[in-house]
Amino acid sequence: MNWILFALVGSVAQLIDGALGMGFGLTSSTLLVTIGASAAVASAAVHMAEIGTTLASGASHWHAENIDKRILVRLAIPGGIGAFLGATFLSFIDLSSSKVFISTLLLFLGFLLLYRNVFRTENQVNMLEIKNPRFLTYLGFTGGFVDASGGGGWGPIVTPTLITTTSTEPRKVIGTVSAAEFVVAVSASVGFLVNINRIDINWATVGGLALGGVIAAPIAAKLVGRLPAKVLGTVVAIAIIVLNAIQIIRA
């Protein structure tokens, strides 16, 4: 597969991620698994590429003042720990069952993304305020573990949860979650590199995804709140559900 194609995929995935606060990992991992990559290779490639894309995205959101520093720290640290453990877990899964595992998890996240968009209303009811640090610790750890072990999931789990359970502005939620994802991506990548003897990473794929994502990151940060996020999220969710359902049926 030509690295230029992966650069285009990275650009599209980052634009989706910038508009929804989620989607880069889900979109990229779904594509890689669809064309035959193993679960560990897909997740490793995506997270190594995300080191560049999340750094660019986080810097862009920082410049646009879309980040809440207090929430950032509370999310990033447990998220990084969860991501490292998730990467280690995925590296030890038998390759014959890894594709089914990652496709099933991506399918679930696709339904979660669809639900969040179809049933989302303009005026969200805030169920709680961020007063207990444990809330963000559990949320960050869970998001990081699922993200690394499933090739995506940080955004679909963390972003909607913060938007629906706190009074934080949506643009700041998206910016903060995107910035914290840099720590998650680095931690997951370290987890995969520690177990690199178990996986075969395609560096052309990593480079292509990273290049496309880095180019699109500044544009995506400016498009937050301007694109029809509900429609875009629904379309992306349906595509993810269909592609991963096909993988499970084939298996």
Q: What percent of the chain has pLDDT over 70?
A: 85
pLDDT of residue 24: 82
pLDDT 10s digits, 171-230: 888 889 989 999 999 999 999 888 877 777 778 888 888 888 888 877 877 766 566 667
Identity (one letter) of the amino acid at 40?
Answer: A
The confidence band for 106, taking pLDDT boundaries of 50, 70 and 90, is confident
What integer is the mean pLDDT of 97-103?
69
Encoding tokens for residue 30?
């779904």
pLDDT of residue 126: 46
Q: Which of 184, 195, 217, 176 is nearest to 39 (CA)?
A: 195
The pLDDT assigned to 128 comes to 45
**Rg (the chain; Cα; Å):** 16
The predicted-structure confidence for 233-251, as pLDDT tens digits, reads as follows 787 788 778 877 877 887 6
Q: Which amino acid, 29?
A: S
DSSP line for 116-139:
HHHS--SSPPP---S--HHHHHHH
Model confidence over 67-92: pLDDT tens digits? 988 889 999 999 999 999 999 988 88
Query: Is the Cβ–Cβ distance between 85 and 145 less than 8 Å?
Result: yes
CA distance linking residue 107 with residue 238, whole number of Å: 10
CB of 28 within 8 A of CB of 185? no
Percent share of the chain, pLDDT over 90: 15
Phi, psi of 68 (to 5 degrees): -100, 105
The rounded mean pLDDT for the chain is 80
Closest CA to 65 of 226, 143, 179: 179
Per-residue pLDDT band for 127 (boundaries 50, 70, 90) equals very low
pLDDT at 235: 77
pLDDT at 114 over 80: yes
Q: CA-to-CA distance for 177 and 130, rounded, in angstroms?
A: 15
Confidence of residue 125 (pLDDT cuts 50, 70, 90): very low
The string of DSSP letters for 206-248 reads: HHHHHHHHHHHHHHHHHHTTTS-HHHHHHHHHHHHHHHHHHHH
Residue 227, pLDDT score: 62
Angle of CA points 197, 56, 195, to nearest 5°: 10
Q: What is the pLDDT of residue 131?
A: 58
